[in-house]
């Protein structure tokens, strides 16, 4: 086996030093009834690289990859072009094969990029501080709700109907254990009257913008209504590229921002791993979940970075920790940080404008197809159209024509009758004019 350096001779010598008869002697504490032979495992034996590549490539070839077809899916995961330098750099051994930076003297590389990441996230979201990331946007949203419950000592979370349903379900899984979760009605293309739902036991209101249908929401008004009743406003963003063009949640009065950072630096990867962005106000840092990197100096007075405020975390606080999370999304943060460093202010702004222009053009083109009407008047790079046929069957028919034409809203909310004919469509810098034209043409055929 190519990954195992010990030889038979080595093993015998090592057993000799240990004073063990054979390897079984080292497993002597395992109850006899639990000892099984290799044949108990109905699995194949070792294989060389060539065979493994052959097997896995065959599996991969059965999937329609986004780059091989005109492709318009979004709804929480977006296809952007990731510069080659990003993947090259994150595969450097020193980043890829290091552990959590618990020994800061020999982990300054990781600690410094996490500090840069925290700063970037704070700047993008318009918040004072950010942590070193959580698993993804959905779990970051759930953590934000729990944090709001701790801060306000109130039980109830109100979720906007425009919050991605997977996010809402993730919040329900954990926040309903000790509190209450209320979901506002789904109102595609418009904002629900969420302010009217806020009461004295409301810990937080969770609003996503752009929402799951792509609609840009007014967070400012909802934040003011929440604050008037002593509740917090949690802003959720699933398309991080939108930070380049839209007003930040912080500027609109958000208390906590939970976002999905996948769009910057990270591929689609069939849903994971992604990177959860989490930012808040400085006064709330002791109730924040997840790792934090802070600046300090070393024994020689040189600037350096360490993990800090660890007493919030599970390895010290155990059952009184703010969260049970141990990891962050290390390598995905790094990809985010490198991509954003490459883009810079200028590149991000241009990229965001380009995305918006591309989506606007596609919305116009699709809107001109008979049987299609635009539902979301304002949007960033994703919008929703109402079709004259159920969207799920339209998407299947488009797939037969070699086009992945967006996400039918019914896939996310099968019980929402009003969503049956809605199609959620995203366009990014990766879509060409030809893609858009092919999409419009095929859609016209399918709806005819």
Site for another protein in 56-115 (CB under 8 A): 56-68, 71, 73, 75-77, 79, 83, 85, 87-101, 103-110, 112-113, 115
Rounded Cα distance, 340 and 404, in Å: 28
Tell me whether residue 339 or residue 386 sits nearer to another protein (CB atom). 339
3-state secondary structure 179-195: CEEEECCCCCCCCCCCH
Nearer to another protein, 198 or 405 (CB): 405
As measured in angstroms, the least distance from the Cβ of 131 to another protein is 8
Determine which residue in the list 151, 223, 332, 436 makes contact with another protein, applying CB under 8 A: 332
Q: Which of 195, 287, 308, 447 binds another protein (CB under 8 A)?
A: 308
324 part of the interface to another protein, by CB under 8 A: yes
What is the bridge-based pairing of β-strands 202-208 and 232-237? parallel
Q: Report the residue number, 87 or 201, with the smaller CB distance to another protein.
A: 87
Q: Give the x-and-dash track for 357-386 against another protein (CB under 8 A).
A: x--x--x-------------xxxx------
- Least spacing, CB of residue 226 vs another protein, in Å: 18
Cα 13 to Cα 262: distance, rounded to the nearest angstrom? 49
Assess 10 for contact with another protein (CB under 8 A). Answer: yes
CA distance 388 to 111: 53
Cβ proximity to another protein: between 202 and 280 the closer is 280
CA distances from 378 to 90, 209, 210, 348, 363 (A): 36, 11, 9, 20, 11
- Does 348 bind another protein (CB under 8 A)? Our answer is yes
CA distances from 407 to 76, 77, 137, 324, 395 (A): 10, 11, 19, 33, 8
Please give the torsion angle defined by the CA atoms of residues 248, 250, 252 and 256, in that order, rounded to the nearest 10 degrees.
Answer: 120
User: Can residue 295 be called a binding residue for another protein (CB under 8 A)?
Assistant: yes
**Token pair in block for residue 335:** 């990809």
Q: Is position 445 an interface residue for another protein (rule: CB under 8 A)?
A: no
Q: For another protein, give the closer residue by CB, 256 or 306.
A: 306
Min dist CB 444 to another protein, Å, is 19
DSSP letter (8 states) at residue 103:
S
Chain centroid to CA 269: 11
Nearer to another protein, 69 or 444 (CB): 69
Residues 24-43 within binding reach of another protein (CB under 8 A)? 25-31, 33-36, 38, 40-43
Q: Which two tokens stand for residue 265?
A: 């630096």
Handedness of CA 53, 54, 55, 57 (dihedral sign): positive
Q: Which stretch binds another protein (CB under 8 A): 149-157, 193-201, 221-229, 319-327?
A: 319-327
Query: What angle in degrees, to the nearest 10, is found between the helix axes of 137-152 and 165-175?
Result: 40
Q: What are the φ and ψ backbone dihedral angles of 61, each rounded to 5 degrees?
A: -70, -15
Structural contact between residues 198 and 229, judged by C-beta atoms closer than 8 angstroms: yes
Contact mark string toward another protein, 153..192, x via CB under 8 A: -----------x-xx-xx-xxx--xx--------------
Encoded one letter per residue, x for contact with another protein by CB under 8 A and - for no contact, window 119-138 reads: xx-xxx---xxx-xx-xxxx
Q: Which residues, 206 to 265, sit near another protein by CB under 8 A?
A: 209, 215-216, 218, 243-248, 251, 260
Q: 232: part of which helix (H) or strand (E)? A: strand 232-237
Compute the distance between CA of residue 413 and CA of residue 420 in angstroms, rounded to an integer.
Answer: 9
Task: Output the smallest distance, CB 439 to another protein, in A.
Answer: 14
Please select the residue that binds another protein; options are 198, 236, 256, 338, rule is CB under 8 A. Answer: 338
Write each residue from 406 to 425 as x if it is in contact with another protein (CB under 8 A), else as -, in one continuous string.
-x---xx-x-----------
Q: Which is nearer to another protein, 111 or 204 (CB)?
A: 111
Q: How far is the CB of 78 from another protein (least distance, A)?
A: 9
Contact 317, 311 (CB under 8 A): yes
């Amino acid at each position: 086996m190519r990954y195992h350096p010990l030889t038979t001779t080595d093993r015998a010598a090592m057993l000799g030093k240990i004073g063990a008869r054979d390897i079984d002697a080292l497993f002597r504490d395992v109850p006899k009834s639990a000892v099984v032979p290799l044949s108990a495992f109905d699995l194949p034996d070792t294989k060389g690289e060539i065979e493994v590549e052959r097997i896995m490539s065959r599996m991969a070839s059965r999937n329609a990859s986004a780059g091989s077809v005109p492709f318009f899916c979004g709804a929480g995961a977006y296809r952007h072009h990731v510069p080659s330098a990003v993947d090259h750099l994150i595969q450097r051994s020193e980043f890829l094969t290091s552990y959590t930076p618990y020994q800061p003297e020999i982990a300054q590389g990781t600690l410094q990029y996490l500090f840069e990441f925290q700063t970037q996230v704070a700047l993008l979201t318009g918040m004072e501080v950010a942590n070193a990331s959580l698993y993804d946007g959905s779990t970051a949203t759930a953590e934000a709700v729990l944090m709001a419950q701790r801060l306000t000592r109130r039980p109830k979370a109100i979720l906007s109907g425009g919050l991605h349903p997977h996010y809402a379900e993730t919040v329900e899984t954990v926040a309903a254990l000790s509190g209450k979760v209320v979901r506002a009605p789904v109102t595609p293309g418009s904002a629900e009257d969420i302010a009217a739902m806020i009461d004295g036991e409301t810990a937080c209101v969770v609003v996503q913008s752009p929402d799951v249908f792509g609609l840009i929401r007014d967070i400012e008004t909802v934040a003011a209504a929440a604050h008037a009743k002593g509740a917090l406003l949690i802003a959720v963003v699933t398309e991080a590229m939108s930070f380049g063009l839209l007003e930040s949640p912080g500027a609109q009065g958000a208390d906590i921002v939970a976002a999905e950072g996948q769009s910057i630096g990270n591929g689609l990867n069939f849903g994971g791993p992604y990177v959860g962005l989490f930012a808040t106000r400085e006064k709330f840092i002791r109730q924040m979940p997840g790792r934090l990197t802070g600046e300090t100096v070393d024994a020689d007075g040189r600037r350096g970075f360490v993990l800090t405020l660890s007493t919030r975390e599970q390895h010290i606080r155990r059952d009184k920790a703010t969260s049970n999370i141990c990891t962050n999304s290390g390598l995905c943060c790094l990809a985010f940080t490198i991509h954003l460093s490459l883009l810079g202010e200028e590149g991000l702004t241009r990229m965001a404008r380009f995305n918006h222009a591309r989506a606007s053009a596609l919305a116009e083109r699709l809107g001109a197809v008979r049987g299609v009407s635009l539902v979301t008047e304002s949007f960033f790079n994703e919008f929703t159209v109402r079709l004259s046929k159920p969207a799920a069957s339209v998407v299947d028919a488009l797939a037969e024509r070699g086009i992945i034409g967006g996400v039918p809203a019914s896939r996310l909310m099968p019980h929402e009758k009003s969503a049956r004919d809605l199609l959620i469509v995203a366009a990014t810098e990766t879509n060409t004019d030809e893609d858009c034209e092919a999409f419009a043409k095929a859609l016209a055929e399918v709806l005819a």
